Structure 1
């Protein structure tokens, strides 16, 4: 049985109306380089400073530390304004799904390519929190690990925070390719791509370890999320 669900935030559990895409593009293009849709999609879900540096380089620029930091500050400012104008909301059905997973004894952690200064105010606006009375067991931001996705560090950090020691008992889910790559790299027993972001089902086809669900709201339907006694009674495909 799964003991930990490590889930991405924007596009997976939280609907923020594509603001991250727009903010990342704006932050990079203000340096004077173009950003292709393909490159932007490739770097979605990663640590945002890493993404800015990579996209500047791909656009023909030179990502100096000063330029990257200035770009990140612009990214964060754009995102705060976008969220102020149109507050993010939980993806339909996800809050109930998280509650159901926890009711079954599965810990829930959110992992994100945002740093703490962006992630925590976003979660506070939703009323999501860890600790007593909260609906989450852990939150891992990109600035507390050596590398962001597709490296496995955020998922492993979520395991540390929740006391889970067997990677095979981890479910990792996200709406981008680097989300599922991070799950595979972490050794997660179940890796799920969800279709509530910008990617179609076909985009996950080249990743044989990833199952595809319409939404993270469907996670409680997976057999691995049922207690062992109940899972034994479920029909098999």
Structure 2
């Protein structure tokens, strides 16, 4: 049997916070700050955003490995954080996250319209997140109440390795019955999420303004003047460059035009791994 390249996309695999819900990705970042504070360690919102996209235990481990944060911990406890310390912070993070997830559960403006357009193009909607399943269950429940119900959901603790490994995206491919990874596009607001899609052999779309990289509320984003917004786009574009996204757009509302462009490229014989 001869291999045939896909001629059009079959599925879109979407991140959650900062992509479809929670403009600015505040739910996870603010809770990291609060969890560390309960141990007497000051972590800024900017610091907490650095490893965003990873599984939450790995995120905390990465934060604890930052020299400045490790030194604050050493000054408080007389040692740098061990894996047991990371687990203790994670165990406090989890109930705080579940308790407050509803505060930042609103759908990103334009998300539902975009999902409808994607479905009208016969695309399946897969999803994955850096949240563990116990948090994702609540996120999915709240999204369903707001009118968003994807075809599949994979939490970070449901696969052997979370982002930037490709396991969650590939789990979507299997569950959705997709014939070729090149017929999928991964959409995310973080570099680990883009690397996840790239490593899975998919097209990738990085969101510059709705998520962790810009870190503003929707109103704050809309109130930026054109020059400042363009400056932020350039900064975020440079931040994403090492992960090599195929496309950069402001928010999910801009995704339909990208889908059309990818379909045109596939029809011409282009593949994500060759770009």
| Superposition TM-score tier, normalisation by shorter sequence | 0.7 to 0.9
Give me the whole-angstrom Cα distance separating, in 2, the residues matched to 1:223 and 1:146.
Answer: 30
1:68: how far off?
A: 2.8
Q: For 1:181, which of 195, 199, 220 is the aligned residue?
A: 195
* Alignment correspondent of 1:220: 256
Q: 2: distance between equivalents of 1:88 and 1:71? A: 23
CA distance in 2, matches of 1:223, 1:113: 24
- Residue 114 (1) aligns with residue 122 (2): no
- CA deviation profile, 1:24-66 (whole Å, cap 9, x unmatched): 122234344453666533311110011112212322232323x
CA distance in 2, matches of 1:104, 1:37: 39
Q: How far has the Cα of 1:69 moved from its partner?
A: 2.9
* Displacement of 1:153: 1.0
Write out per-residue CA displacement over residues 192-226 of structure 1, whole angstroms, 9 at most, x where no aligned residue.
11120132423233244331111112211224478
Contact 1:42 1:177 in 2 (8 A): no
RMSD: 2.6
| Residues 20, 79 of structure 1: 8 Å contact kept | yes
Q: d(CA) in 2 for partners of 1:110 and 1:62? A: 33
Equivalent residue number for residue 2 of structure 1:
9
Looking at structure 2, the residues matched to 43 and 221 of structure 1 have their Cα atoms a distance apart, in angstroms, of: 29
Residues 78-89 of structure 1 mapped to structure 2, 5 A cutoff: 78-84=96-102, 86-89=103-106
Q: Quick check: which has more Rg, 1 or 2?
A: 2
2:59 counterpart of 1:23: no
Provide the residue aligned with 1:100 in structure 2: 117
User: What corresponds to 1:209 in structure 2?
Assistant: 245
Structure with the higher helix share, 1 or 2: 2
| Structure 2 runs not aligned, ≥5 long | 1-7, 71-79, 214-231, 269-275
Matched with 1:235 is none
**In the alignment, structure 1 residue 127 sits paired with structure 2 residue 144:** yes
* In structure 1, distance between residues paired with 2:149 and 2:261: 17
